[in-house]
Structure 1
Amino acid sequence: MKLLLATSILTGVSGSETFRDALSNISGKTTTKYVGAAVNEGFFDDAHYKETSSDYYNLVTAENSCKFSAVQKTQGTFDFASCDQVAQFAEDNDMAFRGHNTCWGVYNPSWLDNGNFTSSDFVGILENHVTTVLDHYQGKAVAWDIVNEAISDSAPYDFKANTWNNITADADGINTNYIDVAFRAARKADPNAKLFYNDYNVASSQGWSQGKSDAMYNMVKSMLDRGVPIDGVGLQMHVGTGYDLVDGVIANMERYGALGLEVHITELDLVCSQKNGYDCVWSDDMEQQQGELYATLLKACLDTDACTNFETWGFTDAHSWLEDGTHPLPFDENYNQKKAVGSMLDILTGY
């Protein structure tokens, strides 16, 4: 499918309507339910931060506070205080809450990475963690990234070396790896939660990301074939303003849709400068290019039946995980709308 975008409408100027308002007005014309952003409860004391996110977006993800190291710093002791702040913020502002994440190979507590555990111990630890987290947020989260970033970045694209690889296959063959363990525990804990696998450098099934993208597709298809419960995939998109693989993103979303899975664009940001050789100087023209790409990707999601969530990793350049000067997000460091906001609104209001 070739994406056609009328760039003449991408003026970067729109009315006072917000993303969530515009999306609600096109309900029934698209399967996309959410335009979301990651938030950090540490910035909730900033009124501009809270107001911009709650006014413009209808979904939030906790940037860090729901991860393993945040909620189980000490073995067997769960602290949901920070994660609860984000979930409550969502509830108070009629926003959806998306959980991220229950199992990742990095940023785990030292007791887990340095402990002397057997494979059976690790299974019990993982099952207990996933079960406790999903039980605590049962009915409050629209989806959970159950496993995050498990696949290596280079051929043969096997699993990254991490603590969880100490889990070996069950003798009866029910669980073949830690991903199986986590997803089965999640489904048992909350039969109604939507369970996602989330990864980066996999958004396009064409071009430089094809190898890892195909590996992820094959892994997910194998899970389905073996009866491992999974409802969708998250496609992170930490890319630059020169990204030119949108057709491959559409093709990739469509092949997951053919498997009956949902697709969430989960961690989108478009940097002006990145380390892979693409560089730029921030200017009005570059801001326009960024806005057009944000709009193009949003339209790709709206046009693709499998895509139900379009989410940036943060929303203001004032609080991005990326270094200063990369200008990655739709609002600038002073919460002013960049051209990306108007361009995205043009797509939504004209849909």
Structure 2
Amino acid sequence: MLATSALTTAFPFSVLAEPEIAALRETAAARGILFGSNSDQHFAQAPPAYEQLFTRQAALDAANLSWQDIAPTSADPDALHENDSVDPNVAIAIDRGLRITGAHLLWYLRTPAWIDQLTASQAEAAISAHIRRLAGFYRGHVWSWNVLNEVVEPPQQGPDGLRVNSALVRTLGLNNAVQVFATAFKEARAADPQALLLYNEYDVELDVPWQEARRTAVMKLLDKLQAAGAPIDGLGIQSHLKYKQFGNFREARFRKFLEDIAARKLKIVITELDVDDREAPADFAERDRLVADIYARYLAVILDSPAVAAAVTWGLVDPYSWYNSVYFKDYRRDDHLPQRPLLFDADFKPKPSFYATLHALENAPKRRAVNR
């Protein structure tokens, strides 16, 4: 368990209620940063105040769009049916003036099962058709695409840390995968020339050997993609932080990783920020303070990098977090209390983590906004 004393200096100030809560999107924009969020809760199924809160706070909507959901049964490009039924919040967000971010174009966990029945050349054609249609469908509404999500996994001992337990890699072949991934970026650029194109990865924040191996694999992949001519614009750092592991966060080590990315002329996007609070105290006030400390320490380092173009949280309101979903039982707390990983509570009131985020954005260095 993480010692309480390790997290008490970054966010020491008390929080006073404000008559009107600041909009994070406006605070971020003043520093040249875009702020956004994901929502696993459909607006139509929540109180109206939730949609109002989301669209006031966020400039970006991290949509839930996947190849598996869009084309579950057929490789025929004519059968693809990109529409807003997959994530009904997308149309609402666009109507409210938000832009779309994330929505992985290629992800091993959301690749349709029929890909395994294809030859390598057929799979390449299907990948290209999927990207052209999905990115083309939302062209003009998307700020960034996660073209690739989570394609390294060093424990699987693939070449240069590549994830080998993946339908994409199995079908494409290890020797061909990176070249096809580079082609995926080219297809995305052709389909939507204004969107920022990212590779997205998790567990790269801590100073521990297994995350160092993942950082190394990520850098090798970025170098290979650039060498293959992929029009990659940046790295998405998911930032699913864990209370029980955050004692292994070392500012200097993480800062060096950010500098290595920026040295490759790549932007950085915080794509899925939240805090898994398992093993934190049961008391809500104490737990909220410790979670806020993690937000404060982490954001103070990553937002200091001028390469960071956007910060996206994986949800805004605690009860709608994936950690509290019935589908993710592994994230339940031992005491059966709900997790409190986000910026607002069940009453849509700001928590200490909101103020920690606001403070970090207010103190981030100004940079030129990326408005592609």
When normalised by structure 1's length, the TM-score is 0.85
Match of 1:276 in 2: none
Call closer, same or farther: CA 1:159–1:308 in 2, change over 3 Å.
Answer: same
Query: How high is the sequence identity, in percent, across the aligned residues?
Result: 23
Letter in 2 for 1:314: G
Cα contact 1:40–1:86 (8 A) shared by 2: no
Deviation digits for residues 172-202 of structure 1, max 9, x if unmatched? x8x7444223222212222222111111112
Letter in 1 for 2:227: D
Match of 1:262 in 2: 267
Aligned equivalents of 1:180 and 1:89: distance in 2? Answer: 32
Cα contact 2:315–2:342 (8 A) shared by 1: yes
Deviation at 1:341, TM superposition (A): 1.0
Match of 2:313 in 1: 312
Cα contact 1:35–1:58 (8 A) shared by 2: yes
Match of 2:166 in 1: 162
Deviation digits for residues 249-291 of structure 1, max 9, x if unmatched? 3222221111110111111111211xxxxx2223323311211
Deviation at 1:334, TM superposition (A): 2.8
Deviation digits for residues 313-332 of structure 1, max 9, x if unmatched? 11111111114522211112
Aligned equivalents of 2:362 and 2:273: distance in 1? Answer: 21
Call closer, same or farther: CA 1:219–1:204 in 2, change over 3 Å.
Answer: farther
Deviates more, 1:149-158 or 1:129-138: 149-158
Match of 2:280 in 1: 280
Match of 1:249 in 2: 254
Letter in 2 for 1:159: R
Cα contact 2:108–2:150 (8 A) shared by 1: yes
SS in 1 for 2:42: helix
Match of 1:224 in 2: 226
- Aligned pairs (5 A) from 1:293-304: 293-304=294-305
Aligned equivalents of 1:270 and 1:102: distance in 2? Answer: 25
Deviation at 1:11, TM superposition (A): 2.5
- Aligned pairs (5 A) from 1:40-119: 40=40, 42-46=42-46, 47-62=48-63, 64=64, 66-75=65-74, 76-82=79-85, 85-113=88-116, 116-119=117-120
Match of 1:36 in 2: 36
Letter in 1 for 2:126: I
Aligned equivalents of 1:314 and 1:37: distance in 2? Answer: 5
Call closer, same or farther: CA 1:316–1:145 in 2, change over 3 Å.
Answer: same
Call closer, same or farther: CA 1:334–1:121 in 2, change over 3 Å.
Answer: same
Deviation at 1:14, TM superposition (A): 5.9
Call closer, same or farther: CA 1:228–1:183 in 2, change over 3 Å.
Answer: same
Match of 1:202 in 2: 204
Aligned equivalents of 1:78 and 1:298: distance in 2? Answer: 38
When normalised by structure 2's length, the TM-score is 0.80
Call closer, same or farther: CA 1:206–1:57 in 2, change over 3 Å.
Answer: same
Aligned equivalents of 1:288 and 1:280: distance in 2? Answer: 10
Aligned residues: 330
Greater fraction of residues in helix: 2
Match of 1:149 in 2: 150
SS in 2 for 1:101: coil
SS in 2 for 1:54: helix
Cα contact 1:138–1:190 (8 A) shared by 2: yes
Aligned equivalents of 2:227 and 2:112: distance in 1? Answer: 33
Letter in 2 for 1:105: Y
Aligned equivalents of 1:6 and 1:94: distance in 2? Answer: 38
Match of 1:338 in 2: 351
Deviates more, 1:200-209 or 1:329-338: 200-209
Cα contact 1:38–1:312 (8 A) shared by 2: yes
Which runs of no fewer than 5 residues in structure 2 stay unpaired? 1-7, 325-331, 333-337, 365-372
Letter in 1 for 2:107: W
Aligned equivalents of 2:321 and 2:151: distance in 1? Answer: 23
Cα contact 1:272–1:282 (8 A) shared by 2: no
Call closer, same or farther: CA 1:161–1:350 in 2, change over 3 Å.
Answer: closer
SS in 1 for 2:213: helix
1:347 aligns with 2:347: no
Letter in 2 for 1:346: H
Letter in 2 for 1:282: A
Deviation at 1:71, TM superposition (A): 1.7
Deviation at 1:140, TM superposition (A): 1.0
Aligned equivalents of 1:187 and 1:21: distance in 2? Answer: 29
Call closer, same or farther: CA 1:329–1:258 in 2, change over 3 Å.
Answer: same
1:180 aligns with 2:175: no
Deviation at 1:112, TM superposition (A): 3.1
Deviation digits for residues 286-343 of structure 1, max 9, x if unmatched? 3112112212322323311111111111111111111452221111233222111122
Cα contact 2:84–2:90 (8 A) shared by 1: no
Deviation at 1:94, TM superposition (A): 2.8
Cα contact 1:102–1:130 (8 A) shared by 2: yes
SS in 1 for 2:309: strand
Match of 2:24 in 1: 19
Aligned equivalents of 2:352 and 2:225: distance in 1? Answer: 41
